[in-house]
Structure 1
Amino acid sequence: MCSIVTIANQKGGAGKTTVTMGVAGTLGLRGHKVLVVDADLQATASRWACAADEGQPFPVAVTGLAAAGAKLHREVRKFLNDYDYVLIDTPPAMESSAPQSALLVSDLVLVPVIPSPADLWSAQGILAIIEGARVVNESLRAFLVPNMVTHTVLGRESVEALAEFGLGVTETSLGHRTAYREAAIEGNTIQGLGKRAKSAISEIEALCDRVMAELE
């Protein structure tokens, strides 16, 4: 049975595509058949995959459905018989109806959030959207994913503050690392960067483990 994971946040720049392509690439490398649905007009996920070397393509399929809008959930259903996992990279919720639509058919939503005051305030909006989706999709599960976390006292305290939002918080946080940007530029998986991305690889593998465990 196909599992659907939506990656969403109220605002841009929180790392939705980084989380989407990091987890999707890891699932693909583990032998699963994976589709990334790029629902964002900026098409960052599609550009990431297209930047891959022809001899070493990104190990998942990517399809653009930015025009689907409020009908995104209907379009996603068409792919469920062909994949083990579908990951939906959504645009900022304040700009589109796509996130709300995606959550209607999702098993899990990951909310990347930068642990800073401004980003924590903006995250309130996506929490309301998640609660609204649960009226229809009662089994929808949700987790915050701390992203761009700095290894400082303030960084640790900010991550701890996420517990106040009422959603689960993944045990693994993603650091503020150049490896994630390099992977996007090269059209590569995080793992494909090799030893220079050792810490990022460890983070994304642990996050993927958490996602798979939740969907079992």
Structure 2
Amino acid sequence: MSARVIAIANQKGGVGKTTTTLTLAAALALRGKRVLVMDLDPHANASVHLSFFPETLEATAYDLFQAESVDAALFERILKRGLAGGFDFVPGHIRLSELEVDLRDRKNKGLILTEALELKRGEYEYVLLDCPPHVGILLVNAIVASDLVLIPIQTDFLALYGIRLLFDTIRLLNRVLPKSVCYMALPTMYDQRTAACRRILRIMRDKLGERVFGTVIHFDTKFRESSAGGKVIFEIDPKARGALEYMQLAKEIDTNENP
């Protein structure tokens, strides 16, 4: 069975993108799925969260994009297997930011990740891509390689306004790709006590309809605790509200192949 590739993307920072990537990966693993996470963000937040410091690593995701062709041996060099969260991991590196220049003249540069993942699609059931917060070669590679673009959206007016850039990118790609990009929005950092959050959630559901997950991720201080400890929330408190909500999201994704 071929892995389902999910790109977690938003061009605004601070919306829960890395938290969503790592927590959803752990939730899917708890459901018995084989999961690979790739950190494609030059800030390498997911890598640092998991205590993989790019300057200490022999090879990272950067090497995948630099190689003329990717073989199984290269993938094994960059792969970190059997993390405590239950998933495998490919760390990122700050040098990913250099790819705009490095790949300027390379043919089919938007398909590099798609071709590299062909080596691993049979090994995993899910591949989750933590994307950079800006349009460029990395985000295009991730969207082109994905079966679903998952967009975490903080229930805040500025965050909602900011996703127009991402939708513009998706529309542009839809003009040239053989099949349309499938996307779903995930409301994050929700606080039902505030009228502003409730209003933004209503606007999201009105504007995007079935493109919004039924699951809503509430604000939970346990996410900060787990991040500070280099862990995912299930290792800190598996019964925390945030943990239960990401388990619900994993179930929603896992039982609906084409949301």
TM-score tier, shorter chain, comes to: 0.7 to 0.9
SS of match in other structure, 2:255? helix
Q: Which amino acid aligns with 2:32?
A: G
Other-structure match for 2:141: 101
SS of match in other structure, 1:143? strand
Match of 2:91 among 64, 69, 94: 64
Match of 1:118 among 158, 169, 176: 158
**How far 1:101 sits from its partner (Å)?**
1.5
Map of 1:75-94 to 2, 5 A cutoff? 75-94=116-135
Using structure 1 for the length normalisation, give the TM-score: 0.87
Other-structure match for 1:154: 196
**How far 1:156 sits from its partner (Å)?**
1.2
- The number of equivalent residue pairs is 211
Q: 1:39 touches 1:98 (CA, 8 Å); kept in 2?
A: yes
Match of 1:181 among 204, 224, 231: 224
Separation in 1, partners of 2:21, 2:232? 11
Match of 1:200 among 227, 242, 246: 242
Q: 2:41 touches 2:130 (CA, 8 Å); kept in 1?
A: yes
Task: Show structure 1 runs of 5+ residues with no match.
Answer: none
Task: Output one character per residue of 1:124-177: Cα deviation in whole Å (capped at 9) or x when no partner.
Answer: 011122223334152532111111111123211111111344361111111111
Q: Which amino acid aligns with 2:200?
A: S
Q: 1:183 touches 1:189 (CA, 8 Å); kept in 2?
A: yes
Separation in 2, partners of 1:25, 1:100? 25
Separation in 2, partners of 1:24, 1:148? 18
- Bigger Rg over Cα: 2
User: What's the RMSD between the two structures over aligned residues?
Assistant: 2.3
Using structure 2 for the length normalisation, give the TM-score: 0.74
Map of 1:31-46 to 2, 5 A cutoff? 31-46=32-47
